[in-house]
Every structure is written in C-alpha cells, then in structure tokens.
C-alpha cells in the first residue's frame, strides 16, 4: 500500500466531528479556531517499539494508548482536548496494522470529541508520535509549581495496576503460563489507560498543583515538590489499590509497584484545606474516585511514612530514559 493510501485509510476511519476544524487532513497544515477567552495547551509524546511497548503489542491497544498518554497530559493541565496530530513511522506499509491502530485511536478520540487533523507517515523502525492540542480558560491551567505548604495531597483512581500488568506480562512471556482473571484486569489497565480528562476539568480553580502519574508516583510528585519549592509526605497506607493488584502480588511488592510503577495515568494533585470539600464534591460529580494520600510540608523531596508516621527509607525510582 502506498503512503497516500495509508493516509486515506487513516482519514476515513477517524472521527471528524468538530466545527472548529477549518482545515483538516489533506492540506499542508491544519487550521483550527481556539475559542475566545481561552489559551491553547499543547503536548507531544513518542512511543518507540521495544522501549515503550513490546513489539507484539496489539495494534488497536497501541492506537488507544498513544492517544491516552497525551490526553493524560492535557488532563493534568485541566485542559479540554480538541485536536491531534499523528506521526507514524512504519517498517512496512502494513494496511492491517494501520487499520487496527486507527480503530483503537478513533475509539478513544470519539470518547473525547477529539478530531485527528493531520500528521506524517514515514518508513523506519516502528515508532508513534502523537501531539494533542486542547484549551483552558485563559490563565487557569493547572501547573506543577503551585503546591502550597499545608495542602492535602490527593490522587485520582487507583495506583499500581499498570505496573502490575507489566509484571504479569513479563512473567507470562517468561513462563508461558496461563493468564488468570486478576492478571487480565491489570494488563487491561496497562494497555488501555483511561485519561482523567473529566477529573482535570473538575479540578480547575480547586487544585493548586497537578501532575499526571506516568513515570511513577514518587518520581512525579518529586517534580511537583521541586517545581513548587516544597516537600511532600505520603502515607503508604493511604495509597488506593485494586483487589486485583493485591491478589497478584504480596503487600510489599504491591506497595512498591504503587510508589514506583509508571503508566497509571492518574492525576496527583494538591488542594488547600479550605477547598477540599468542594474538590471532593466536584470529583464525585465527575464520577472520579479520589483518595487523600499525604500533605505538602516545608522542605524538599518526597517522603513515605509508614503506619507509625515514621519516614521509610525508599530505594528505587521512577522511569527515566537516560538514567
């Protein structure tokens, strides 16, 4: 299949629902209209075969995930997603792979009224780059550098499933063992994360600092602490986890996966005491579970407290490419 047939195929299968797309796929560049009183929020993420996903990952899951990781970044800014660009580098012009990839991509795009407005298609080792654009009311984006001393620290949803899913996947590949139901649950969370877009919107004007948990809770809260010039204390027993996680792993392993494991794509955020009740009401209206996991203190770094309130010595850290 030729490059232009692949582009046609992609264009045909993606939703085109937005009136604010003046010019989509087909010209030299796309043209979109940003709503008055709003700012544009942009991000891009690349998934490289063998680095970010195993080579035999299902193409539809890849399509979903390559968009999901970007929507999660927009969610962490409190932005409303609107438009995406897709750059595909493919070893061969594999129409079947591209069809399945675009199906997964389009399935998630439709859930967020997001239009694919352009991209690039080249030949080379499999690699996928997605850029996403959204908007926020001017001046109100959620940022990493806004945590205040005394804030409560919260997380959406549950932590550790995706990292648990990766462990299950690796064990399965090594032993060729049958996958049980709990493992399947964890792997589904790894392959098809749900970006917390509604939660991010609910947090506008209520959260101080916000970040999405992509590299691991401790690593990502470390970014918040550094950017905000504060310290953060986390109570280990407060971390929300699934029954599947604790079915598959002993308590210590599960806790480590929750603290260090990446790919959860939940939101971690800080809220002033006076706003906590309003935040909880807004999150419940958005249909999103929220758990209090710690507090912001004067100082630096992220510290984990055991059930007696003593600081634990923590080894290991989150995902870093050039470490």
Rounded to a whole number of angstroms, the minimum distance from the CB of residue 98 to ligand ADP is 8
Total residues in contact with ligand ADP, by rule CB under 6 A: 13
In the complex with ligand ADP, the residue whose CB is nearer, 59 or 86, is 86
Rounded to a whole number of angstroms, the minimum distance from the CB of residue 25 to Mg ion is 11
Whether 156 contacts 289, CB under 8 Å: yes
Residues that bind Mg ion (CB under 5 A): 120
In the complex with ligand ADP, the residue whose CB is nearer, 82 or 88, is 88
Per-residue buried b or exposed e for 77-109, using 16+ beta carbons within 10 Å of the residue's own CB: bbbbbbbbbbbbbbeeeeeebbbbbbebbbebb
The residue at minimum Cβ distance from Mg ion is 120
Instruction: Give the residue carrying structure tokens 């550790």.
Output: 160
Q: Distance between CA atoms of 228 and 301, rounded to whole angstroms?
A: 11
- Contact positions with ligand ADP (CB under 6 A) in 74-113: 86, 88
Specify the DSSP class assigned to residue 143.
B
In the complex with Mg ion, the residue whose CB is nearer, 28 or 176, is 28
Whether 70 contacts 119, CB under 8 Å: no
Specify the DSSP class assigned to residue 34.
P
Rounded to a whole number of angstroms, the minimum distance from the CB of residue 120 to Mg ion is 4
282 binding partner (options ligand ADP, Mg ion, none; Cβ < 5 to 8 Å by kind): none
In the complex with ligand ADP, the residue whose CB is nearer, 70 or 228, is 70
Indicate whether 119 belongs to the interface with ligand ADP (CB under 6 A): yes
Rounded to a whole number of angstroms, the minimum distance from the CB of residue 84 to ligand ADP is 9
Q: What are phi and psi of 83, to 5 degrees?
A: -135, 150
Helix or strand run (H / E) with residue 65: helix 59-76
Query: Which tokens sit at 28?
Result: 């030299």
Rounded to a whole number of angstroms, the minimum distance from the CB of residue 8 to ligand ADP is 9
Q: Distance between CA atoms of 164 and 182, rounded to whole angstroms?
A: 10
In the complex with ligand ADP, the residue whose CB is nearer, 119 or 165, is 119
Binding stretches for ligand ADP (CB under 6 A): 7, 10, 25-28, 86, 88, 116, 118-121
């Amino acid at each position: 299949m030729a490059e232009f047939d692949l582009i046609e195929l992609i264009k045909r299968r993606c939703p085109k629902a937005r009136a604010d797309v003046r010019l989509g796929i087909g010209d030299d560049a796309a043209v979109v209209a940003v709503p008055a009183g709003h700012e544009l929020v942009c991000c891009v993420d690349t998934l490289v075969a063998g680095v970010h996903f195993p080579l035999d990952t299902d193409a539809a899951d890849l399509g979903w995930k390559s968009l999901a990781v970007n929507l999660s970044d927009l969610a962490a800014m409190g932005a409303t997603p609107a438009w995406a660009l897709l750059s595909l580098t493919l070893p061969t012009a594999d129409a079947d792979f591209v069809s399945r990839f675009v199906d997964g991509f389009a399935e998630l795009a439709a859930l967020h009224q997001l239009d694919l407005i352009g991209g690039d298609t080249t030949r080379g080792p499999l690699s996928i780059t997605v850029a996403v654009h959204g908007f926020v009311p001017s001046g109100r984006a959620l940022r990493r550098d806004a945590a205040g001393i005394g804030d409560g620290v919260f997380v959406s949803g549950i932590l550790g499933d995706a990292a648990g899913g990766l462990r299950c996947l690796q064990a399965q590949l090594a032993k060729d063992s049958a996958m049980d139901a709990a493992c399947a649950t964890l792997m589904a969370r790894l392959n098809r994360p749900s970006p917390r877009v509604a939660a991010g919107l609910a947090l506008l004007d209520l959260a101080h600092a916000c970040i999405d948990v992509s590299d691991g809770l401790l690593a990502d809260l470390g970014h918040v602490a550094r950017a905000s010039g504060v310290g953060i204390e986390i109570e280990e027993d407060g971390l929300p986890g699934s029954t599947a996680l604790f079915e598959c792993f002993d308590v210590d392993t599960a806790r480590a996966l929750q603290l260090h494991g990446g790919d959860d794509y939940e939101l971690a955020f800080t809220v002033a005491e006076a706003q906590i009740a309003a935040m909880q009401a807004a999150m419940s209206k958005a249909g999103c579970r929220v758990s209090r996991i710690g507090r912001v203190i004067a100082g630096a770094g992220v510290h984990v407290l055991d059930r007696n309130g003593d600081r634990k010595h923590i080894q290991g850290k989150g995902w870093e490419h050039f470490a």
